[in-house]
Amino acid sequence: MTDLQTLDRVPGVDAKMDYLLPTSTINRRFWAPGKEYNTGVYETYGVHIRNARLAPEPFTLDTHGFAIASFPTAITDWDTAAAGDSDYAAEVIEIVKRLTGADTVLTMSGQLRTSGATGEKLQPPAAEAHVDFTPDCADRVAARVYEGKMPGGPGYDRYICFSLWRPLSPPPQDWPLALCDFRSVSEQEGTPNTKVDVDEIPEGDALFAEIPGEDQMAAASIFTFNPDHRWWYFPDMTDDEVILIKFHDSDHSRAWRALHTAFHDTSRPDANERHSMEFRGVAYFSKKDA
């Protein structure tokens, strides 16, 4: 296995990335159609993001927390592809089974994102270092999804909450995806960021008002700056390629999450507006004695 110091010599691009400030106390991500707003206080840091295509070793789910693969899609109408029972969801299930070895994959829903004009179905790129679930939230999501779609099923010994990310616009994209090597992140890192779904983004004091049951709501993990983080990206991705990202693997003996974020790649003046589809779900490994 290649060590981190060797990987540091791989060339890449310099970019800006938002990290949470340690003094930020009320951290929420309000989500409305076409809009997102974070109450957290962030600061922009300069980071070096290495070219993953030039790395001396392949990126794997169990070592790094993410992996790239080639899986062409038959989908042409992406406006309806985000539904949990869409034709694309069926593709996601088969892809994730092949990449993880899980015997059951249950999909949640997809999200179209763009660096251009947003709308009811189009959200902007998420542009701060994050993982979409906290460990507690991942446990609740995995249990809820399984109970909802497989009542009376055999149960599971292990699960992986995941996102399957696919670019839809031609390369190069102006806001590609950056991913952080799991080995460069400590177990203790991460601050909950509650996701609050609203019709319209609130303003002023309403952003910080008490929300009953907030500790049981969906929450992401957000991160303060750590110079030890090692960031990677796959330039010039095509729509035949996907990146599988671990949000949470219940088996902590292997890479169990991958920080990620969009970043503005200013090194490519020929860059195209980014359009992408990310699809969430849970991969389950059934109980061995079932």
What is the residue-level pLDDT of the chain in tens, covering all 290 positions?
A: 666 777 888 999 999 999 999 999 999 989 898 888 989 999 999 999 999 999 999 999 999 999 999 999 999 999 999 999 999 999 999 999 999 999 999 999 999 999 998 888 898 998 899 999 999 999 999 999 999 999 999 999 999 999 999 999 999 999 999 999 999 999 999 999 999 999 999 999 999 999 998 888 999 999 999 999 999 999 999 999 999 999 999 999 999 999 999 999 999 999 999 999 999 999 999 988 65
The pLDDT of residue 290: 52
The answer to whether 105 and 280 are in contact (CB under 8 A) is no
Kindly list the strands in the beta sheet with 12-20, ordered across the sheet, starting from the edge strand earlier in the chain. 12-20, 42-51, 231-233, 177-180, 260-262, 130-131, 219-222, 191-197, 28-32, 35-38
The pLDDT of residue 39: 94
Global confidence as pTM: 0.92
Domains of the chain are 4-12+51-186+226-286 (2.60.120)
b vs e for 89-106, b when ≥16 Cβ sit within 10 Å of the residue's Cβ? bebbbebbeebbebebbb
Which two three-digit tokens encode residue 204? 């002023």
From first CA to last CA, the distance across the chain in angstroms is 35
DSSP state of 79: G
